[in-house]
Amino acid sequence: MEPRHLEIAQDLMEDIDQGRYAPGAPLPTEDRLMELYGTSRNTVRRAMQELTNRGRIDIKQGSGSTVRRYRPTTHLASSAEGEADDERYAAYVRRMRTEQGIEPNQRLRVIVESAGPTVADLLELGPAEEDRYVVIRRCDRYLAGRLWQRQLSYYPRRLAQGSDQGSELMTPEDIQRGTRTLLAEMGYPQTRSWDVVGAKMPSLKDSTLFGIGPGIPLIVHDRLAYSGDEPVRFTKTLMPADRHQLMYFEGEMTPEQLRAGTDLNIYDH
């Protein structure tokens, strides 16, 4: 038999999932829950803490408990017509301005360092030390002063050294036409890619960095892009799961059809 506080927490989670308590709505008071379940205040508080730990409610001293409200931004994880690079910052700004009503900002940093074993294997870098260096373009995106998303793109250093166009990879500035277009101009058109998307609980450092509350995992989106059979870019994107969702699609889509997906909030169902 489950402990009493878990039974109460499960009942309330089902009520939330079935829409009896909408996002932002208050939950019954401690006194009311004690009356409904015939239990102690300590048991009720343990139940509410369980819901907090699972990211389902917010508790404010003196204001009671409310259902946590999620407003994630949908990212197109498939390439769309007219959007050659689905992570272009201009498109991101448009989405955030429309969906959140807040102007985001970003900080770009370029790092050159020896690749770790995983990145070196993915980019098929040579065994010699000088062949294992990569250019990392780190893009941190902020909303209302809070880190919203971190994207790390790894390129073999020889690409940045191979042409004048390649040197753009070394500049900590937004590449307006997108790095996919830049790579094509350098002679490395993207011909294929794969994606792996997963979730993990954040480390203490990640929780502090992103300002992540209890019970919220990090979405990790890895993508390896090829030009022919040659891997040319590995991108890792870190996104708190309460603020982001990914949309994949197949075939030709009209803007209206895409909007139906981008307007969907998975937390409302």
In the prediction, which pLDDT does 84 show? Answer: 45
Backbone angles phi, psi at 175, to 5 degrees: -95, 100
Is the pLDDT at 82 greater than 70? The verdict is no
Backbone angles phi, psi at 48, to 5 degrees: -70, -35
- What is the per-residue pLDDT across 24-76, written as a single tens digit (0 to 9) for each? 899 999 999 999 999 999 999 999 988 888 878 888 877 789 998 887 878 77
Cα-Cα-Cα-Cα dihedral sign, residues 19, 211, 199, 245: positive
CB-CB contact of 160 with 179 (8 Å): no
Residues 94-110: what's their mean pLDDT? 81
Q: What distances in angstroms separate CA 177 from CA 90, 91, 161, 191, one per listed residue? A: 10, 11, 20, 18
In the prediction, which pLDDT does 215 show? Answer: 82
Residue 210 burial (C-beta neighbours within 10 Å; 0-12, 13-18, 19+): buried
| Of 92 and 264, the one with more pLDDT | 264
Report how far residue 34's alpha carbon sits from residue 216's, in angstroms, rounded to the nearest whole number.
28
Per-residue DSSP letter, 83: B
Residues 6+ apart with CB under 8 A from 49: none
Residues 162-168: what's their mean pLDDT? 78
CB-CB contact of 73 with 244 (8 Å): yes
Cα-Cα-Cα-Cα dihedral sign, residues 74, 79, 85, 90: negative
| Of 130 and 188, the one with more pLDDT | 188
CB-CB contact of 57 with 67 (8 Å): yes
Is the pLDDT at 85 greater than 60? The verdict is no
- Least confident window among 30-34, 164-168, 184-188: 164-168
- What is the per-residue pLDDT across 106-153, written as a single tens digit (0 to 9) for each? 899 999 999 999 999 999 998 888 889 999 999 999 988 889 999 999
Report how far residue 30's alpha carbon sits from residue 7's, in angstroms, rounded to the nearest whole number.
15
Element (H, E) at 247: strand 244-247
Other CB atoms within 10 Å distance of the CB of residue 149? 25
Q: What percent of the chain has pLDDT over 90?
A: 48
**Nearest alpha carbon to residue 239 among 216, 267, 262:** 216
In the prediction, which pLDDT does 233 show? Answer: 96
- Whose structure tokens read 């169902």? 269
Question: Domains plus CATH for the chain?
Answer: 4-67 (1.10.10.10), 73-268 (3.40.1410.10)
- What is the per-residue pLDDT across 221-261, written as a single tens digit (0 to 9) for each? 999 999 999 999 999 999 999 888 888 888 888 888 888 88
Cα-Cα-Cα-Cα dihedral sign, residues 62, 63, 64, 68: negative
Q: What is the pTM of this model?
A: 0.79
Mean pLDDT of all residues in the chain? Answer: 87
- β strands within 43-87, DSSP E: 57-60, 64-67, 73-76
List, in sequence order, every residue forming a beta bridge with 42; answer none if it has no partner. none
In the prediction, which pLDDT does 5 show? Answer: 92
Segment of 19-28, 156-165, 187-196, 260-269 carrying the highest mean pLDDT: 187-196
Per-residue DSSP letter, 101: S
Angle in degrees, 0-180, between the axes of helices 41-53 and 30-37, rounded to the nearest 10: 110
